[in-house]
């Protein structure tokens, strides 16, 4: 089966600019996650969707980050305006969701963001 797709793979922007990342989960996966992975750290959950509804966005810096998952499939994550500390790899993951209590999360290749 095709994996989780993300684009772009790399992005370099200046601080205060805007950027958007795109994720296409595995077909049929109801749950989609966005993680931020700062160099040398584990992934940190930013937001979780179940279909097109938000399940958890408690760690999303809502003053600058936004995310949407229209039609319950693809998702976009936006940062506006970017700060230096936003430099990280942004990982998208998906899982079957629904009633699967221990469903594996499959990760995409990530987008490496550098803010200068």
Partner 1 sequence: GENVEQHPSTLSVQEGDSAVIKCTYSDSASNYFPWYKQELGKRPQLIIDIRSNVGEKKDQRIAVTLNKTAKHFSLHITETQPEDSAVYFCAARLSGSARQLTFGSGTQLTVLP
Contacts to partner 1 by CB under 8 A: 4, 31, 33, 40-45, 48, 55-56, 91, 95, 101-105, 107-110
Neighbour-count burial of 73, counting CB atoms closer than 10 A to its CB (0-12 exposed, 13-18 middle, 19+ buried): middle
Q: How far is the CB of 46 from partner 1 (least distance, A)?
A: 11
Q: How far is the CB of 109 from partner 1 (least distance, A)?
A: 5
Tokens of 8: 């772009």
Closer residue to partner 1 (CB): 79 or 94: 94
Closer residue to partner 1 (CB): 27 or 102: 102
Phi-psi label, residue 51: left if phi above 0, alpha if psi -120 to 50, beta otherwise: left
CA dist 40 and 81 (Å) reads 24
Closer residue to partner 1 (CB): 17 or 37: 37
């Amino acid at each position: 089966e095709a994996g989780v797709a993300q684009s772009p793979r790399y992005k370099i922007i200046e601080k205060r600019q805007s950027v958007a990342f795109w994720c296409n989960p595995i077909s049929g996966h109801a749950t989609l996650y966005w993680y931020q992975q700062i160099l040398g750290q584990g992934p940190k959950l930013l937001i979780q969707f179940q279909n097109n509804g938000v399940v958890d966005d408690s760690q999303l810096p809502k003053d600058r980050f936004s995310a949407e998952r229209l039609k319950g499939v693809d998702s976009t994550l936006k940062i506006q305006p970017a700060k230096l500390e936003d430099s990280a790899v942004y990982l998208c993951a998906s899982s079957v969701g629904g009633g699967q209590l221990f469903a594996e999360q499959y990760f995409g290749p990530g987008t490496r963001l550098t803010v200068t």
